Amino acid sequence: MNRSRNSVAAVVLCLMLVVFGCGRSSAPAGVAGMLPVPGFAEGWRSEVGVRLYQRDNLYEHINGEAELYLPYGFVEAAATTYDRTGGTAGSVSADVYEMGSLLDAFGLYSSYRSPDKAAPGFGSDGFHDKYQLMFYQDKYFARLTALGEWDGSADDLLACGRAIADKLPQPATSPPELEMVKIDGVEPSSVVYLAESVLGYAFFPKGFTANATLDGESARVFVVFAGTDPDAVVQKYTDYLKEYGAEPQSMPIPSGECLVVEDPLHRGTVLDTAGSFVIGATGLADPEQAVPLIERMRAGVLASREGS
């Protein structure tokens, strides 16, 4: 008899746990849970809920831009719109994109970055003004835009952005790969990570580009992730150059020798390898100017790989 009562009690307890468990409000799993609902601050509320987009329908949300996101390992996006309670004009559109990695999130962000705008004070890096805010954190890229007859302020966007940042994985760090381009002469805010076709060349599969200054002259540096056979990548480049009548020449440098050529698209170019990477500078009036920079790039790339 006691055993029967105990069994009934156990069943009742399980039912109570199910009922109360179902009554709890829990954050949605995945990227949907990165958007604060029902609102990000007092007076702001999402009436439309969170909408999700995958690779096959992202174009429905950002038609004309979806192709930019896909190479960076895009997984899923969550989007919503916050309106002011009381019917005051203006709304905030908020998107969070889950990318393939921290480096991919930085790469997408770097394609939008505006170094002349203010930093938001959260995320790994970001910028904002009165009408838009973008930042990245972990493998997520967040994009906020003021809509309608906007009479709000930058503070409203910042409040929304901070609420999102608080939900994203912590801490907010930068990709360790950025260490390879942290060298004298390279402008940090100009660094861009491209998930394909560095310098517009398909045989340069992915890597960094950045602006540099050499003896007061502007140049552009690049680091190509060449995989297991960087010499094969260099060969594809030289084959391309020869098709256009450009003949690469060897130039001695302290670490050995590098290639110098008048690139059909990018003017004077110096190119070398460093471990599994192809490094170089382009847009040069005098390629010999780039020798010290190439040596610093080599040291930076190799040091960053040893520390990874």
Tell me, yes or no, whether 130 lies in a domain: yes
Q: Where are the beta strands (DSSP E) in the chain?
A: 44-46, 51-53, 76-84, 91-98, 125-128, 132-137, 140-147, 192-194, 207-214, 217-225, 249-253, 256-263, 267-274, 277-284
Cross-strand bridge partners of residue 211? 220
- Same domain for 39 and 155, yes or no, is yes
- Same domain for 38 and 147, yes or no, is yes
- Same domain for 117 and 237, yes or no, is no
Query: pLDDT digits over 87-115, tens only?
Result: 667 899 999 999 999 999 999 999 999 99
Domain boundary among 111, 140, 167: 167
- Same domain for 209 and 272, yes or no, is yes
Tell me, yes or no, whether 231 lies in a domain: yes
Q: Is 190 helix (H, G, I), strand (E, B) or coil?
A: helix
Cross-strand bridge partners of residue 134? 127, 143
Tell me, yes or no, whether 22 lies in a domain: no
- Same domain for 145 and 226, yes or no, is no
Q: Which stretches within 130-180 are classed as H helix?
A: 154-167
Tell me, yes or no, whether 43 lies in a domain: yes
Read off the pLDDT band of 255 (50, 70, 90).
Answer: confident
Phi, psi of 226 (to 5 degrees): -95, 0
Domain boundary among 146, 167, 188: 167
Q: Which residue has the tokens 């698209």?
A: 265
Overall domain count for the chain: 2
- In this predicted structure, what is the pLDDT of residue 308? 57
Query: pLDDT digits over 230-244, tens only?
Result: 999 999 999 999 999
Q: Which residue has the tokens 């930058």?
A: 154
- Same domain for 248 and 136, yes or no, is no
| Cα separation, 267 vs 264, whole angstroms | 6
| pLDDT of 20 higher than 80 | no
Q: What's the burial of 286, exposed, middle or buried (CB within 10 Å: 0-12/13-18/19+)?
A: exposed
Give the range of the structural domain holding residue 49, as residue numbers without chain letter.
30-167
| Cα separation, 259 vs 272, whole angstroms | 6
- pTM for the model stands at 0.87
Tell me, yes or no, whether 24 lies in a domain: no
Tell me, yes or no, whether 266 lies in a domain: yes
- In this predicted structure, what is the pLDDT of residue 29? 59
| Cα separation, 270 vs 288, whole angstroms | 8
